[in-house]
Every structure is written in structure tokens, then in C-alpha cells.
Amino acid sequence: DAKTTQPTSMDCAEGRAANLPCNHSTISGNEYVYWYRQIHSQGPQYIIHGLKNNETNEMASLIITEDRKSSTLILPHATLRDTAVYYCIVMNYGGSQGNLIFGKGTKLSVKP
């Protein structure tokens, strides 16, 4: 079973920040938080990952709470092309096992 809980769906206005929450209250000390997204009719795409510090890359920012029991993915300026299902996944660093366990994810709809 997935170790994360996410809202089923969210709406966001184009150009605004999209904040996607994720609860992972049972995360262990050696597990990272990963975010993937799946645009319709495509395979999942890696977005970002982090352990305990906040992370930022060209796609998004990841904010992890101090107790690591929850996190938020931030798309700073959402576009229509960001409409997708976003998956929050916890797993060991590097995914040496590789078996990403996907929950149901959050369906983000960016509206003009």
C-alpha cells in the first residue's frame, strides 16, 4: 500500500502558484519524498525529491515539514501544460529497489 495521502483533486488558475500537499506520517529516517507527475496518455515524469531540507529545481519547489510527516509541492507559476496527476511517493534514497509504490495521486487542473 502507498505510504502517502493526497487530495483527490485540485484546481489552480493559470499563472498562480499551485500548492499540492502530501501526508506521509509513517515516513522512516532513510526515506526520501519523491514527486512524479503523469500527463494524460504519457508515462510518469520525475519532478523533484528531498529528504528534510527544502528543495528547488527548474520545475518546482518542495517544502518538507520539520517533523517530515508532510510536504508540499509548489509549482510557482502554473500553466495549462501542468494539468496532470501528481504523485507523492516515499522511498529509500536512489530507489535501489526501484519499485515505486504509486498512490492515487492528486489530479491538478489548471484553468485559464
Partner 1 sequence: SAVISQKPSRDICQRGTSLTIQCQVDSQVTMMFWYRQQPGQSLTLIATANQGSEATYESGFVIDKFPISRPNLTFSTLTVSNMSPEDSSIYLCSVLDRGMPDYNEQFFGPGTRLTVL
Using CB under 8 A as the criterion, which residues of the chain lie in contact with partner 1 when the complex forms? 2, 41-46, 49, 87, 93-96, 98-105
| Residue 37: other Cβ atoms inside 10 A | 23
Looking at the Cβ atoms of 66 and 96, the one nearer to partner 1 is 96
Give min distance, CB of 15 to partner 1, in A: 29
- Half-sphere exposure of residue 100, counting CA atoms within 13 Å on the CB side? 17
Looking at the Cβ atoms of 14 and 103, the one nearer to partner 1 is 103
Give min distance, CB of 73 to partner 1, in A: 17
The set of residues, in sequence order, having a beta carbon less than 8 Å from that of 102 and lying 6+ positions away, is 2, 36, 44, 87, 89
